Amino acid sequence: MIDTLFFALVAAVAVVAAVAMVVARRAVHSALFLVVILFCVALLYLTLSAEFLAAVQIIVYAGAVMVLFLFVITLLNPAAEQQLADVRSHGIVAAVLAGVLLIEVAAVLRWGTLAGQPASFPPPAVPWSDNVQAIGEGLFTTGFLLPFELTSVLLIVAIVGATVLAKRRL
């Protein structure tokens, strides 16, 4: 019961912050609302006993990625932001399309293959404190080793690409 209440509270904050992020007139406000959403998602990860991902979410997303966003917001011209604030003309069409998408997802959830499954979560297979160890073992022993190494190549490519794009003269 208390868990459902906690979920409802965090979910309400996340949804309100998401709507505020979309309608905020200034990009800085949108960024701060996104931080709120990221923290809410990290809290939900904790309730799902994924504490490693919750920590990574806060460090990488709410830390590194959002700092990058704020740097770029300050780099760009704040005066040009006023005309960027108003929405594009096809806002109603977009809202209708998103509503249709939401109804589709809800229909899949309601009548999809999951419909016959029990709704509640089973008891955890690994104890709460072994999450990091379980992720490490899964990452390095169950066929995710090559993707993990490829990730480092991807990050190098992203660093080089960002440097080439952002520097005026190499």
Partner 1 sequence: MIAPLSYYLILSAVLFSIGVVGVLVRRNPLVMFMSIELMLNAANLTFVAFSRYFNTIQGQIVVFFILTIAAAEVVVGLAIIVSIFRSKATIDVDQVASLKG
User: CB-wise, 142 or 170, nearer to partner 1?
Assistant: 142
- The structure tokens 């952002």 sit at 166
Eight-state DSSP code of residue 129 = G
Least separation in angstroms between residue 35's CB and partner 1 is 10
Least separation in angstroms between residue 83's CB and partner 1 is 7
- The structure tokens 């660093």 sit at 159
Least separation in angstroms between residue 170's CB and partner 1 is 13
* Whether the Cβ atoms of residue 31 and residue 72 lie closer than 8 Å to each other: no
Q: d(Cα 43, Cα 47) in Å, to the nearest integer?
A: 7
User: CB-wise, 88 or 170, nearer to partner 1?
Assistant: 88
Q: d(Cα 131, Cα 35) in Å, to the nearest integer?
A: 24
10 Å CB burial of residue 124 (0-12, 13-18, 19+) is exposed
Least separation in angstroms between residue 126's CB and partner 1 is 8
Q: d(Cα 10, Cα 3) in Å, to the nearest integer?
A: 11
User: CB-wise, 3 or 170, nearer to partner 1?
Assistant: 3
User: CB-wise, 129 or 163, nearer to partner 1?
Assistant: 163
